Amino acid sequence: MASRVHPLLVAFLVVLLVGTCQARPAPGKAASSSSSGVVDGITAIYNFGDSISDTGNYLREGAAAGAMMEHTVAPPYGAAIGGATGRCSDGYLMIDYLAKDLGLPLLNPYLDKGADFTHGVNFAVTGATALDAAALARIGVAAPHTNSSLSVQLQWFRDFMSATTKSPAEVRDKLASSLVIVGEIGGNDYNYAFAANRPRPGGRSAADVGRMVTGVVESVVLVPEVVRSVVGAAREVLEMGATRVVIPGNFPLGCAPSYLAAVDETERAAYDGNGCLVGLNLFAQMHNVLLQQGIRELRRSYPEATVAYADYFGAYVRMLERAREMGFDGTALTNACCGAGGGKYNFEMERMCGAGGTAVCARPEERISWDGVHLTQRAYSVMAELLYHKGFASPAPVKFPHQ
């Protein structure tokens, strides 16, 4: 992108925003109950989302899945845990660390029909969107990887509850001892809108600038709809009887190697002190501000329930700011560990992790970004610690012993 694009992006988003306002070892593959038994009364987790928390649904969609299937369900994904499982990382995810901390087995994907769902179900699918394909298509945005949007996942949840209970009262009883996580989801809606209007590699013409501005406008238009979808899904599970719901916000998009490489901004003023694109982070915060407004409305409607906002943005920034003391390589905070070695971010859209010619860095445990889009197991471990033990999910959805 030409260097003049970024100030336009920043100014546009700032106007919209005015007035609104220690890493741990990996869990075992089949974590058993903690020595103290049930943690804070939680016996099950029900999770909705995308690749940030998918533990194998996308893999099981098989031929119905899109192009990402070629790489993300095979090595080097899963290298830290003995092989690819459908998790978009070198190992475990935040949802895995949370299950471990609660003394529960790792969540099985809903599409694994032979799995044990006694302690919860994971409905998340890699590439999933908050809006369905038809809603995205109305503004010219395609969902290329999966049709298992949030509304589809919510239907799976209804189907599961209907199949495993005999009455709405029994559903309420089941949910009373459960933790429900609605997201993170919505990031892909924006990703696809931006990607549909991506300028040519190295493009700096007026046409390239126009395409980028179109992508920004389309993404901004999506924000209220995306937030409405997420809040609506949370409202439905609360209406069904959920008593503890976690709703994560968006990550700082401007810190992702994929976006940094795509924008390739040359003006120093475009970046913050962590090396992240200010404009894209303002966009992510716009989503987060509107989402928190929706969460406040849910709290007023369901005062007896705990509806927590999980601040992925704040936790990620904290990880960047304290990266060295947490054991990360401070010289590679915005570099993908697995990539083709191209450019200053080790990310090429045409040759993502797992494609021919890509390689894995020597020490993934010292990196934050795994493939330029998703995080490493180590980074997910730190994120889970910050969210559920250090106050970045608030109010605390779980009261852990000695916390």
- pLDDT tens, residue by residue, 306-356: 999 999 999 999 999 999 999 999 999 999 999 987 779 999 988 899 998
Task: For residue 8, count CB atoms less than 10 angstroms from its CB and return exposed for 0-12, middle for 13-18, buried for 19 or more.
Answer: middle
Residues in the chain, pLDDT under 70? 1-36, 63-71, 196-217, 403
pLDDT of residue 146: 83
pLDDT of residue 217: 65
Beta bridge partners of 45: 120, 179
Instruction: Give the whole-angstrom CA distance, residue 259 versus residue 57.
Output: 26
Phi, psi values for residue 174, rounded to 5°: -65, -45
Residues 6+ apart with CB under 8 A from 403: 389, 396
pLDDT of residue 346: 95
pLDDT of residue 143: 79
Rounded to 5°, angle at Cα 223 from 217 and 225: 120
pTM for this model (two decimals): 0.88
Which is it for the CA torsion 264, 266, 267, 273, positive or negative? positive
Given a contact cutoff of 8 angstroms between Cβ atoms, the answer to whether 194 and 140 are in contact is: no
- Look up 371 and say whether it is catalytic: yes
Task: Kindly report the average pLDDT of the chain as a whole number.
Answer: 87
What tokens appear for 173 in the block?
Answer: 């009883």
The fold for domain 44-323 equals Rossmann fold (3.40.50)
The single residue of 90, 101, 311, 371 carrying the catalytic annotation is 371
pLDDT of residue 64: 53
* Tokens 């694109």 -> residue: 277
The single residue of 50, 51, 53, 189 carrying the catalytic annotation is 51
pLDDT of residue 196: 66
Rounded to 5°, angle at Cα 249 from 124 and 281: 120
Can you give 286-301 as a three-state secondary structure string?
A: HHHHHHHHHHHHHHHH
What tokens appear for 44 in the block?
Answer: 């099950």
